Amino acid sequence: MINISPRQLEVFVQIARLGSVRAAAEALHLTQPAASMALAEMERQLDTTVFARERGRLRLNTRGRELLPLAQELLERYAEFGRVGSGGVDELGGELRVGASNTVGNYRVGELLGAFVRAHPHVSVRLRVSNTAEIVAAMLDHALELGCVEGPVAHPSLEVRPWRDDVLAVCTSPDHPLARKRRLEPEDFAGARWVLREPGSATRSLSERALSSLPAGETVLELDQAEAIKQAVIAGLGIACLPEVSVIDAVAAGRLKVLHTPFLDLHRKLSLLLHRQRYRGALIEAFLACAG
């Protein structure tokens, strides 16, 4: 009979998340030999290995990827059993790992996390901010419980829920020639110098789609943060499509000018991501209720 303990499952999940026995042991306040023994005993009982060693790190193998969401579910159910059994029905605790693409993580984090953090002060929220492609990859690896991204996502393992509407603005420095034109037409952008986000960014994808309807221009810079792009535009290095929410202060201060471009479709949906195989326990359900 298989008799795998919660501690062994915790070691397995932490190694999968952190990539090494040493890091998992530190996270769980165990000695490294104790963590190694827990993993070895779990693999012995399963009569299979769950990790492959790659360049000094442990990576889930095929069986490990199958077992990880089940291990996470068992641990979450175990915690819920204890919480409900002790009468603490309303006192959620533990850790929730959320991924957000750059616009959400840098400019709408209050909307995303505020209500949940206020309602559940004993939950430790870990926010990872990256571009959409990297958040999707982390969701598929079960490294995050939830994601919130700017770009369209189509993967059979992920459920996509609309969250908020968002829009980009075409921005220039106030002394740019286009900023002085009273009425803009698409042909006015011929030869324009553009500052773009890096490939893999949802803002980059939407910008490229919009630029495809304009005369050919030149990409002069590729940067991985909206703030860096904003500073480049303020310095007169080019034009950029930036989230409206990211430029409000700079526009109000007269450092940026938003161009009126009704001929460009710069609207998009921000979406919540959930893994279809992931158990949706009390933490995830509470988060969804607060973020709705």
- Spans of all domains in the chain: 6-86, 94-164+270-291, 166-266
182: which 2 tokens?
């009273």
The mean per-residue pLDDT over the stretch 98-118 comes to 94
Give the pLDDT confidence score for residue 91 in this predicted structure: 75
The gap from C-alpha 277 to its chain's centroid, in whole angstroms, comes to 18
**Is the pLDDT reported for residue 130 higher than 70?**
yes
Q: Percent of the chain having pLDDT more than 90?
A: 76
Alpha-carbon separation of residue 255 from 42, 178, 239, 260 (angstroms): 59, 15, 13, 16
Closest-CA residue to 194 (of 151, 229, 243, 228) = 229
Handedness of CA 10, 14, 20, 24 (dihedral sign): negative
Domain covering 6-86 assigned CATH 1.10.10.10 in the classification: yes
**Residue spans of beta strands (DSSP E) within the chain:** 51-54, 57-60, 94-101, 123-130, 146-149, 158-172, 193-197, 218-223, 240-243, 257-258, 267-275
Give the pLDDT confidence score for residue 176 in this predicted structure: 95
- In whole angstroms, give the CA distance from residue 107 to residue 247: 10
Which residues are CB-neighbours of 131 under 8 A, at least 6 positions away?
A: 101, 102, 197, 198, 200, 201, 202, 224
**Is the pLDDT reported for residue 38 higher than 90?**
yes
Q: Are 284 and 146 spatial neighbours (Cβ–Cβ below 8 Å)?
A: yes
Q: Do domains 94-164+270-291 and 166-266 have the same CATH topology?
A: yes
Query: Counting every residue, how long is the chain?
Result: 292
- In whole angstroms, give the CA distance from residue 134 to residue 100: 10
Q: Give, as one character, the DSSP assignment of residue 220.
A: E
Which residues are CB-neighbours of 180 under 8 A, at least 6 positions away?
A: none
Confidence of residue 78 (pLDDT cuts 50, 70, 90): confident
Confidence of residue 89 (pLDDT cuts 50, 70, 90): low
State residue 188 phi and psi, 5-degree precision.
-65, -15
The CATH label, of 3.90.320.10, 2.30.38.10, 3.40.190.10, 1.10.15.40, for the domain at 94-164+270-291 is 3.40.190.10
The mean per-residue pLDDT over the stretch 164-186 comes to 94
Which amino acid is it at 234?
A: I
Alpha-carbon separation of residue 13 from 16, 158, 237 (angstroms): 5, 20, 46
Confidence of residue 1 (pLDDT cuts 50, 70, 90): low
> Can you state the angle between helices 62-85 and 282-291, rounded to 10 degrees?
80
Confidence of residue 200 (pLDDT cuts 50, 70, 90): confident
Which amino acid is it at 224?
A: D
CATH level 3 topology of 166-266: D-Maltodextrin-Binding Protein; domain 2 (3.40.190)
Which amino acid is it at 279?
A: Y
**Residue spans of beta strands (DSSP E) within 152-198:** 158-172, 193-197
pLDDT tens digits, one per residue of 205-226: 999 999 999 999 999 999 988 9
**Is the pLDDT reported for residue 272 higher than 90?**
yes
The mean per-residue pLDDT over the stretch 82-91 comes to 71
Mean pLDDT of the chain: 92
At residue 104, the 3 state secondary structure works out as helix
pLDDT tens digits, one per residue of 132-161: 989 999 999 888 999 999 878 999 999 999
